[in-house]
Amino acid sequence: MKKRKSRQPMTRADQGRHQRDVDPLILRSLHALFMQAPAIICVLRGPEHIFELVNPAYQQIFKGRRLLGLTVRQALPEFEGRGFFEILDHVYETGEAYSAREARGVLDGERFFNFIYQPMHADNRKAEGIIVFAFDVTAEVQARRQGDERLRETEQMFRLLVESVQDYAIFMLDTDGRVASWNSGARRIKGYEPEEIIGQHFSIFYPADDIRSGKPEQLLAQARTLGRVEDAGWRVRKDGSRFWADAVITAVQGVDGDLRGFAKVTRDVTQRQKSEETERALAVAQEVNQAKDEFLAVISHELRTPLTSILGWARMLRMGGLDEQTTQEALNALERSAQAQVHLIEDLLDDTRIKAGKLQLTKRPIEIKSIVESALADLAPQAATKRIHLSSELECGSCSIVGDPTRLQQVVWNVVSNAIKFTPEAGSIVVRLERMGSNARIEVRDNGRGIEPALLQQLFQRFRQGDAASGRKAGIGLGLAISKYLVEQHAGTIKGASDGPGKGATFTIELPLTVEASDEFTLREPNRAEDLPDLSGIRVLIVEDEADNRDVLSKVLERCAAEVHCSVTAEEGLDAVQNWRPDVIVCDIALPGVDGCEFIKQVRSRFATPALALTVFGSSEEEDRVRACGFEVFRQKPIEPADLAHEIVRLSGRGNASSAPFS
């Protein structure tokens, strides 16, 4: 038998003959594929990594630069010290491939790439070169970061909402049952501060008998298996006292289906255990609490619904190609959705203030007619979208009352908005104002779906909606409850009536009349976007650290022909006041470092420039604090563009500025 010769490594001469033996057509096809590949590719030869081949996609990154025939250190000197050359050396010396994900570009720090460094082996398995593949993943990275930012904003909003709940202990557990978060309701009910309890096992809340029997661990096991478990029993506070609790433990899973931890909601129902009378009272309270539980589930939906419209239309506008009509529809939808978010958050904040006894009214003599007219003007576009005929009969003449104009306008807005919500397309709503003895009566009548008799008694309860038969409507069921509170704070009454389903509904508000209102206290008509004033010649300094807010404020004022200068910090703002000498200052309160109040104090030590404060906080205490620092005007975010522009007019002393069209 003939002995087989052992295979010897190919010499360079052998390789050259082999390459000559390859069909030229195949070589041309391979070269064409290399040059046309959408990936970014280059071939580096030898230990010095000499550019042997680069495809157009690779050359595009280094426009106008010679690469072929040069070593990477000669061709790309700016890569020195960034680890790039060391990676190539390692791949060449070890013959092991190397990959990197989402590496930031050296020449353009805004671009990101996935890299693969693949060694080319000779027959003796020694690397003789490297093929570098790169894929531009900038779009994917940016999209993920934008999604992460939106998620962070939503999570922050939800955390704020949970923190404001006082009647429930709401907290998170990790997968082992250790406390991971703690809200104000948990502090009130259980007595622990966050720094005392976070990291502790939740069995600390159970009596010793339950701990010995392993009840806490059993509950977690059931929640892990079933997804949710309810429990009632004695719990132990920090001071050792006991209370009877109803609790729900819900397993929280990630998008991959893996367990992330548990959400636990506990409420103190001790009184229910003490007497039959208490049990009957708690039966009613339980219905209210059930509505509140529904609120916790609904709140995410109500926040996301307008966000869906906002994100969808924003992306459509970014893609372009929309005709003028569709563009206008998009802008209208964005504005409606943003306003829906504002009203939702305001209702939540008002409800919290009412429960805490901190909602304060600023009463003064006013004309109720101007309040009704202002609310109707604000709601006319909302009615128009459903082709609802919204009419008014304001026959009160001079109906003067003493009240808070902003809060009374909120009441009228809530009632009429509610009528629009439950009135079908092409329906009708009539708003009537008349004098009834010593009272002013506002009547809102619609021909909508009507109200079930059983629901009439629940209309003004928190977290209730008046049309359960036709499914949920937008909102969280706080508007009428807040309206009832505000009307009663004005010594008035509000009632709802309906002859039943399909027969419409009527809401009646009565407020006591008083002396005639003076002109200076008449409610200002809301400024409309199309009534932007001419601010030419007015120098406005904007001090705002948030870039998006700063941009929109400056664009609005520049649209009105104002001269605008923007500062990011209080220090920059002080320099601008000194050297640029603005006529009006618009300043955010929550500035980094030196805040808006300290900034205006420093301004007031040398200048009397009128100033407007912008803040997300709307309490009367905050307004008093801000005004005491030296601001003439206090406005809560978000502020309407037209309102901002008209405030600038007033602060600048120019009383009769002409209007600039807002198109």
The pLDDT value recorded for residue 293 is: 66
Tokens for 176? 């082992």
Band of pLDDT at residue 641, cut at 50, 70 and 90: confident
State the CB neighbour count (10 A cutoff) for residue 140: 13
Quick: pLDDT tens for 506-556.
999 999 988 554 444 344 444 454 568 899 999 999 999 988 888 888 998
Q: Mean per-residue pLDDT for 255-267?
A: 88
More confidently predicted of 434 and 164? 434
Burial category of 357 from C-beta neighbours within 10 Å (exposed 0-12, middle 13-18, buried 19 and up): exposed
Strands (E) across 254-301 are located at 259-268
Tell me which range, 94-98, 610-614, 618-622, is most confidently predicted by mean pLDDT: 610-614
pTM for this one?
Answer: 0.43
d(CA 453, CA 491): 27
CA distance linking residue 593 with residue 265, whole number of Å: 37
Q: For 575-600, what is the mean pLDDT?
A: 94
Q: How far apart are CA 497 and CA 451, in angstroms?
A: 8
Average pLDDT of span 344-362: 77
Least confident of 74-88, 101-115, 194-208: 101-115
Whether the pLDDT of residue 374 is over 90: the answer is: no
Looking at the structure, give the CATH architecture of the domain made up of residues 24-136.
2-Layer Sandwich (3.30)
Q: Which tokens in the block code for residue 200? A: 């502790």
Tell me: pLDDT of 465 over 60.
no
The residues spanned by each domain of the chain are 24-136, 167-274, 301-356, 364-521, 529-660
Least Cα distance to 591 among 626, 556, 557 occurs for 626
In this predicted structure, what is the pLDDT of residue 107?
Answer: 64
Predicted confidence (pLDDT) at residue 663 exceeds the cutoff of 50:
no
What architecture (CATH level 2) is domain 364-521? 2-Layer Sandwich (3.30)
Question: How far is the first Cα of the chain from the last one, in angstroms, to the nearest whole number?
Answer: 96
Helix (H, G, I), strand (E, B) or coil at 546: coil
The pLDDT of residue 22 is 54
168-190 average pLDDT score: 90
Q: Taking a C-beta distance cutoff of 8 angstroms, is the pair 508, 621 a contact?
A: no
CA gap 20, 438 in Å, rounded: 109
DSSP string, 434-503: EEETTEEEEEEEE-SS---HHHHTTTTSTT--S-GGG---SS-S-HHHHHHHHHHHTT-EEEEE-SSTTS
Whether 475 and 456 have beta carbons less than 8 Å apart is answered as no
**pLDDT reading at 35 higher than 80:** no
For residues 415, 417, 422 and 428, what is the CA-based torsion angle, rounded to 10 degrees? 90
* More reliable by pLDDT, 166 or 464: 166
What is the arrangement of strands in the sheet containing 563-567, beginning at the earlier edge strand?
Answer: 563-567, 539-543, 584-588, 611-615, 633-636
% of the chain at pLDDT higher than 70: 82
- How confident is the model over 278-329, as pLDDT tens digits? 566 667 777 767 766 666 666 665 666 667 778 878 888 888 888 888 888 8
Q: What pLDDT is recorded for position 319?
A: 85
Residue 8 above 60 pLDDT? Answer: no
Please indicate whether residue 519 or residue 457 has the higher confidence score (pLDDT).
457
Q: What are the phi and psi torsion angles at 615 (to 5°)?
A: -155, 155
Percentage of residues in the chain having pLDDT higher than 90: 34
pLDDT band with cut points at 50, 70 and 90 for residue 143: confident
CB 202 within 8 A of CB 173: yes
Q: Which residues contact 381 (CB under 8 A, 6 or more apart)?
A: 332
pLDDT band of 160, cuts 50, 70, 90:
low
The pLDDT, as a whole number, for residue 304 is: 67
The single-letter code of the amino acid at 352 is T
Q: What is the pLDDT of residue 322?
A: 83
d(CA 377, CA 526): 8
| 529 vs 639: CA distance, rounded Å | 12
Tell me what the mean pLDDT of segment 181-196 comes to. Answer: 90
Contact residues for 101 (Cβ-Cβ < 8 A; gap 6+):
114, 137
Among 271-285, 466-480, 545-559, which stretch is predicted with the lowest mean pLDDT?
Answer: 466-480
Topology match between the domains 24-136 and 167-274? yes
Q: How far is CA 296 from the centre of its chain?
A: 17
From CA 150, how far away is CA 654, in angstroms rounded? 41
Average pLDDT, the chain: 82
Q: Is the bond into 638 cis (omega within 30 degrees of 0)?
A: yes
CA distance 557 to 614: 15
Give the residue among 372, 365, 310 at the shortest CA–CA distance from 337.
310
CATH class name, domain 529-660: alpha beta
35-49, 119-133, 556-570: range with highest mean pLDDT: 556-570
Most confident range (mean pLDDT) of 88-97, 540-549, 577-586 is 577-586
* Domain spanning 167-274: CATH superfamily: PAS domain (3.30.450.20)
Is the predicted pLDDT of residue 469 greater than 70, yes or no?
no
Instruction: Assess whether pLDDT exceeds 60 at residue 163.
Output: yes
